[in-house]
């Protein structure tokens, strides 16, 4: 998911913000996937941004970014949907199980051990 920040993207030789990009994309207003565009950040990497309708506010839109230019727009949205479930799980684990605040170890093995213990102790 891409947030509207000061980041600029190169599109058709112009440096545009996310909102300006959205205005340039040909849209299908009756679909959930509004459209997509291929851009480059100043670093030169090729990206694809897919614009989708915000389900919480039908007048608003969201942008999903991918580096895999071969993916269809619907596939980008499907993969992001799966990723969202994973992200919310980790957020819950860090907040409610105090997974991120009560551990001071730095090694990978210590982190795996601590995480395993935290998940097995919860009812």
Instruction: Check whether residue 79 and residue 95 sit in a common domain.
Output: yes
Instruction: Check whether residue 20 and residue 51 sit in a common domain.
Output: yes
Instruction: Check whether residue 58 and residue 76 sit in a common domain.
Output: no
Instruction: Check whether residue 65 and residue 77 sit in a common domain.
Output: no
Q: Which residue has the tokens 């941004």?
A: 49
Question: Which of 22-26, 57-61, 119-123 is predicted with the least confidence, judged by mean pLDDT?
Answer: 119-123
pLDDT in tens, 78-111: 998 888 888 888 788 777 777 766 677 778 888 7
Q: What is the per-residue pLDDT for 100?
A: 65
The rounded distance, in Å, linking the Cα atoms of 101 and 22 is: 39
Q: Would you place residue 121 in the very low, low, confident or very high pLDDT band (cuts 50, 70, 90)?
A: low
Half-sphere exposure of 23 (CA within 13 A, CB side): 5
Q: What is the per-residue pLDDT for 2?
A: 87
The Cα-based distances of 85 to 34, 56, 109 in angstroms read 23, 17, 25
Instruction: Check whether residue 24 and residue 56 sit in a common domain.
Output: yes
The whole-model pTM stands at 0.72
Per the structure, the count of domains in the chain is 2
DSSP characters over 60-72: -EEEEEES-TTS-
Given a cut of 70, whether residue 122 has pLDDT beyond it is no
Q: What is the per-residue pLDDT for 63?
A: 93
Q: Which long-range contacts (CB under 8 A, 24 or more apart) does 26-34 make?
A: 27/51, 32/77, 33/73, 33/74, 33/77, 34/61
The rounded distance, in Å, linking the Cα atoms of 46 and 69 is: 8
Instruction: Check whether residue 76 and residue 113 sit in a common domain.
Output: yes
Q: What is the per-residue pLDDT for 123?
A: 56
Instruction: Check whether residue 63 and residue 105 sit in a common domain.
Output: no
Domain residues for the domain of 14 are: 1-69
């Amino acid at each position: 998911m891409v947030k509207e920040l000061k980041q600029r993207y190169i599109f058709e030789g112009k440096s545009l913000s996310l909102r300006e990009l959205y205005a340039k994309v040909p849209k299908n207003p009756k679909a959930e996937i509004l459209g997509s565009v291929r851009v480059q950040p100043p670093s030169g990497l090729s990206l694809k941004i897919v614009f989708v309708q915000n389900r919480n506010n039908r007048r608003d839109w969201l942008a999903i970014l991918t580096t895999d230019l071969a993916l269809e727009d619907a596939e980008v949205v499907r993969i992001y949907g799966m990723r969202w479930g994973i992200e919310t799980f980790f957020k819950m684990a860090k907040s409610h199980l105090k997974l991120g605040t009560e551990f001071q170890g730095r090694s990978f093995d210590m982190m795996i051990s601590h995480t395993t213990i935290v998940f097995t102790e919860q009812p």
